[in-house]
């Protein structure tokens, strides 16, 4: 089996093999999603998310199909007219473009790769990519705190490739979105949306009920531990089991932060590779984007493949001039030693 450092889908936890079998044997895969068994499972999974990810008790959790769907929900149910999108990479930009296609008046605020995110203006909804998977940068709590203080709008964060890997100050955002194929170490096909009392109040004021995934329908169902459509029950089951298994987020986050620092030091001091974003303040803890020339990139990816290692391709504007390394919790320190050994002997 290939060892995958692709930043999502990435390596799934090895325990998933057993959990899949357990799921089948438990009978949960055949129950109706409005049955007590299914509701009990959803309830326990919400509780575990609150506990393990240290989410404030007044924040709600809902299951959706993906992070991309969250972008749509934010545009439909939380934005009356205008959203501001500050981005420095491909995912943030894509989000802005989808909001625009949905008829939202979008204020684009691109910022430089090595700059910290700063806003020129307030807006009804402020959309930020907490961890920009395309270029390995992140918006830290300290920056978010500043943005929160300076603005009154709802703050929506795409944390797809960092949730369950980075300790957020949850109160600095009103909507947090993720998918489970990144830091949760699970197969793709389930999204998690976490939202504040303030976001809920805003949804109630707007009272948008025109879509199957209108936030109010989602919330009304989630409050009963149900979902607004037949959900990916298998993935919810896997999520519950993995949450039972993993340590508290603060512990996981500390470990990943140290590992990211170690990898960055190794790459910049012991090899000729460079980290794409040189400003350490904005380097991601969970996705490393490494830059080099076209030929070198091509070669290292091909060599890695023949050694049983999958490196992540570059993305968007940096497609050919970077490769990416996921620093997700399911990957072990030993696997990072294998990667380092490969890179140094490549």
User: Which lies closer to ligand PLP via its Cβ, residue 176 or residue 225?
Assistant: 176
Q: Report if residue 160 touches ligand PLP, rule: CB under 6 A.
A: yes
| Strand bridging mode 322-326 / 312-313 | antiparallel
**Dist. CA 328–CA 5, nearest whole Å:** 8
Kindly state the tokens that stand for 156: 């929506």
Q: Which is nearer to ligand PLP, 60 or 66 (CB)?
A: 66
Task: Report residue 218 as tokens.
Answer: 């989602």
In the 8-state DSSP scheme, what is residue 276?
S
Three-class DSSP category at 292: coil
By CB under 6 A, name the one of 28, 67, 155, 326 that touches ligand PLP: 67
Residue 129 binding ligand PLP, by CB under 6 A: yes
Gap between the Cα atoms of 185 and 162, Å rounded: 11
Closest to ligand PLP by CB, 129 vs 343, is: 129
CA distances to 67, 279, 328 from 102, in Å: 16, 35, 33
| Residue 8 interacts with ligand PLP (CB under 6 A): yes or no | yes
In whole angstroms, how far apart are CA 108 and each of 58, 68, 96, 105, 128? 31, 18, 7, 10, 11
Check residue 66 for interaction with ligand PLP (CB under 6 A): yes
Least separation in angstroms between residue 115's CB and ligand PLP is: 18
> Do 182 and 203 touch, CB atoms closer than 8 A?
no
262 to 301: interface string for ligand PLP, x by CB under 6 A: ----------------------------------------
Q: Which stretch binds ligand PLP (CB under 6 A): 37-45, 158-166, 197-205, 328-336?
A: 158-166
Residue appearing with tokens 């790769």? 113
Q: Which residue from 10, 109, 161, 214 is in contact with ligand PLP, where contact means CB under 6 A?
A: 161
Quick check: 133 binds ligand PLP (CB under 6 A)?
A: yes
In the complex, the smallest distance separating the C-beta of residue 186 from ligand PLP, rounded to whole angstroms, is 11
- Closest approach, Cβ 169 to ligand PLP, in A, equals 19
Dihedral sign computed on CA atoms, order 284, 285, 287, 293: positive
Nearest to ligand PLP of 45, 129 (CB atom)? 129
Residue 293: CB minimum distance to ligand PLP, A = 25
Q: Pick the stretch among 40-48, 156-164, 217-225, 332-340 that binds ligand PLP (CB under 6 A).
A: 156-164
Cα angle 324, 173, 214 (rounded to 5 degrees) comes to 95
Q: Look at residue 69 and give its three-state secondary structure.
A: helix
Name which position in 15, 26, 68, 151 contacts ligand PLP (CB under 6 A).
68
Q: Does 91 bind ligand PLP (CB under 6 A)?
A: yes
Asked whether the CA dihedral 13, 15, 21, 25 is positive or negative, the reply is negative
Q: Does 158 bind ligand PLP (CB under 6 A)?
A: yes
Task: Using alpha carbons, select from 228, 170, 204, 225 the residue that is nearest to residue 77.
Answer: 204
Distance in angstroms (rounded) separating the CA atoms of residues 263 and 131 = 18
Residue range at the interface with ligand PLP (CB under 6 A); choices 33-41, 47-55, 66-74, 148-156 = 66-74
Q: How many residues touch ligand PLP (CB under 6 A)?
A: 12
CA-to-CA distance for 8 and 12, rounded, in angstroms? 10
Q: Is residue 232 involved in binding ligand PLP (CB under 6 A)?
A: no
To the nearest whole angstrom, how small is the minimum distance from the Cβ of residue 28 to ligand PLP? 23
Phi, psi for residue 228 in degrees, rounded to 5? -80, -5
**Contact with ligand PLP (CB under 6 A): which of 167, 179, 221, 322?**
179
Distance from C-alpha of 164 to C-alpha of 167, rounded to nearest angstrom: 8
Of the two residues 161 and 214, which places its CB atom closer to ligand PLP in the complex? 161
Q: Residues interacting with ligand PLP, by CB under 6 A?
A: 8, 66-68, 91, 129, 133, 158, 160-161, 179, 188
């Amino acid at each position: 089996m290939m060892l995958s450092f692709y930043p999502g889908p990435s390596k799934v936890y090895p325990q998933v093999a057993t959990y899949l079998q357990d799921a089948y044997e438990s009978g949960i895969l055949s129950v109706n999603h409005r049955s007590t068994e299914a509701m009990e499972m959803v309830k326990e999974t919400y509780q575990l998310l609150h506990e393990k990810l240290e989410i404030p008790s007044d924040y709600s959790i809902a299951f959706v199909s993906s992070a991309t769907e969250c972008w749509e929900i934010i545009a439909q149910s939380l934005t009356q007219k205008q959203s501001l999108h500050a981005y420095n990479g491909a995912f943030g930009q894509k989000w802005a473009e989808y909001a625009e296609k949905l008829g939202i008046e979008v204020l684009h605020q691109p910022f430089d790769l090595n700059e910290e995110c700063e806003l020129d203006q307030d807006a009804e909804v402020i959309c930020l990519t907490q961890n920009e998977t395309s270029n390995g940068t992140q918006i830290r709590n300290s920056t978010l705190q500043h943005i929160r203080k300076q603005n009154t709008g709802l703050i929506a964060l795409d944390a797809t490739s960092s949730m369950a890997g980075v300790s957020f100050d949850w109160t600095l955002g009103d909507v947090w979105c993720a998918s489970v194929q990144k830091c949760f170490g699970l197969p793709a096909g389930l999204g998690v949306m976490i939202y504040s009392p303030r976001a809920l109040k805003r949804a109630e004021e707007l009272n948008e009920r025109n879509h199957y995934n209108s936030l109010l329908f989602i919330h009304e169902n989630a409050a009963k531990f149900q979902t607004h459509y037949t959900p990916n029950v298998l993935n919810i089951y896997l999520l519950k089991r993995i949450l039972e298994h993993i340590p508290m987020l603060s512990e996981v986050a500390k470990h990943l932060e140290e590992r990211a620092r170690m990898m960055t030091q190794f790459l910049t001091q012991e090899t000729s590779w460079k980290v794409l974003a040189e400003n350490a303040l904005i380097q991601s803890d969970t996705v490393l984007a490494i830059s080099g020339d076209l030929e070198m990139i091509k070669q290292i990816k091909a060599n890695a493949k023949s050694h049983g290692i999958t490196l992540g391709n570059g993305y968007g504007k940096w497609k050919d001039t970077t490769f990416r390394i996921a620093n997700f919790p399911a990957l072990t320190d030993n696997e990072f030693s294998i990667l380092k050994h490969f890179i140094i002997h490549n």
